[in-house]
Amino acid sequence: MRDVVVAGVGMTDFGVFRDRRLEDLIYEAGKGALCDAGIWEEREAVQALYVGNFSAEGFNRQNHVAPIAVRALGLMGVAACRTEGACASSGIAMREATLLVGAGVYDLVLVVGVEKMNTIETPGITRVLAEAAHAEEEAAAGATFPSLFAMIARRHMHVYGTTREMLSAVAVKNHRHGAKNPRAHLRKEITLEKAMNAQPICDPLNLYDCSLISDGAAAVVVASRERARSLAGIPVRILAAAQASDVPCLHDKPDITISRATRLAASRAFGEARLRPADVDLAEVHDCFTIAEIVATEDIGFFEKGKGGPAALDGATAFGGSIPVNVSGGLKSKGHPVGATGLAQVFEMVTQLRGQAGERQVAGAAVGLAHNLGGSGATCTVHLFGREL
């Protein structure tokens, strides 16, 4: 595998944009990434397009999204496809592009992630999201994502002594981080007291334990290191692109407090990059719920199993802590337009490793990790990024 870099990134604001079409979001993010790489005017150089999207079908009655992106960005003729792996849809797209550039099949690929969710009411959105679980064995039985992660949280509390306060500490931290991110959906700090006493959603999870229902898109130009030399953007190395799967249902797992796909993908990523968790300077992890961030920080290997909650409470994962997690605000505050989330994590990594993150810049950031999770943990991608020296 030859060296692969991110040569450009683009991203819309995340939020509620009822008057913007799916393709408007794609256009803004995709053009942003191509402009960042300095090849908007020569975009016939793009050799393939991957579009991460979870459910334009459910939210927009639009399947077959890749050609929509082809037209919006003026890339007619290019091989274009959508990848779908629930909330990891654009993590997968990112990995496909990285593998194919790394292997020499392509030199320059555009990856776009998009979701426009605020088209129907919340119960409908919850139903569409539940299609990422097992239709017959989970969704038909009444399971929703809040309820699945509530079970994980309850079990984590029981086994490891994780507390309500620890969950809320994740929410408070990510809101504090997101308040400094101009692209974040909900830029407001919250107090621990407010987070702990918010309206219950699915016990033990309350309103502030849940990520946001957002519209948005993000895009990344993936190129060989050599190809990137003639591009404008400051390149950031992709040190690893790993992926793993697990069974779709919680009830098939021996221990629901462990994300096996996260463990496997992280271990593969660290193996590829010849790095250890201690080498990582900052991470974007998939905090669809506060408990998910705690589980991820354990299973990636930042903390021992069961110590993710105390670490959040102690500030280890906060800006300025030993391993800052979700400095962008995460899914919790930056927002979670499902198919865009994986690439929005990459956007943050690249911004940080370029030293362009402004007041949320992690000083000396040289190695970053992005962790994107689909369903209740059935799909996981882990990418590692390194500052170009």
Catalytic (active-site) positions: 87, 336
Residues 139-178 that bind its own copies (CB under 8 A): 139-140
Kindly tell me which of 139 and 234 has the beta carbon lying closer to its own copies.
Answer: 139
**What is the C-alpha to C-alpha distance for residues 385 and 362, in angstroms, rounded to an integer?**
14
Supply the minimum distance, in Å, between the C-beta of residue 72 and its own copies.
10
Q: Report phi then psi at 141, rounded to 5.
A: -85, 0
Strand partners, 296: none
Residue 300 CA neighbour count, 13 Å, CB half: 34
DSSP string, 245-270: E--S-GGG-S-TT--HHHHHHHHHHH
Does 388 help bind its own copies (rule: CB under 8 A)? Answer: no
Kindly tell me which of 10 and 52 has the beta carbon lying closer to its own copies.
Answer: 52
Given candidates 6, 37, 80, 143, which one binds its own copies under the rule CB under 8 A? 80
Does 116 help bind its own copies (rule: CB under 8 A)? Answer: no
**What is the C-alpha to C-alpha distance for residues 242 and 271, in angstroms, rounded to an integer?**
10
Supply the minimum distance, in Å, between the C-beta of residue 271 and its own copies.
14
For the beta carbon of residue 276, count every other beta carbon within 10 angstroms: 9
Does 64 help bind its own copies (rule: CB under 8 A)? Answer: yes
Does 134 help bind its own copies (rule: CB under 8 A)? Answer: yes
Kindly tell me which of 99 and 366 has the beta carbon lying closer to its own copies.
Answer: 99
CB within 8 Å of 42: residues ≥ 6 apart: none
Given candidates 243, 345, 351, 372, which one binds its own copies under the rule CB under 8 A? 243
Supply the minimum distance, in Å, between the C-beta of residue 248 and its own copies.
4
Given candidates 132, 228, 234, 384, which one binds its own copies under the rule CB under 8 A? 132
CA geometry: angle at 319 spanning 313 and 320, to 5°? Answer: 95
Given candidates 8, 15, 30, 102, which one binds its own copies under the rule CB under 8 A? 102
**Does residue 358 contact residue 241 with C-beta atoms inside 8 Å?**
no
Q: Which two tokens stand for residue 310?
A: 């105390």
**Does residue 172 contact residue 192 with C-beta atoms inside 8 Å?**
yes
Kindly tell me which of 65 and 171 has the beta carbon lying closer to its own copies.
Answer: 65
Given candidates 11, 26, 49, 288, which one binds its own copies under the rule CB under 8 A? 49
For the beta carbon of residue 93, count every other beta carbon within 10 angstroms: 31
Does 105 help bind its own copies (rule: CB under 8 A)? Answer: yes
Summarize as ranges the residues that interact with its own copies (CB under 8 A). Answer: 1, 21, 49, 54-58, 60-68, 70-71, 75-86, 92, 95-96, 99-100, 102-105, 128, 131-136, 139-140, 242-249, 252, 260-261, 264, 374-375, 378-379
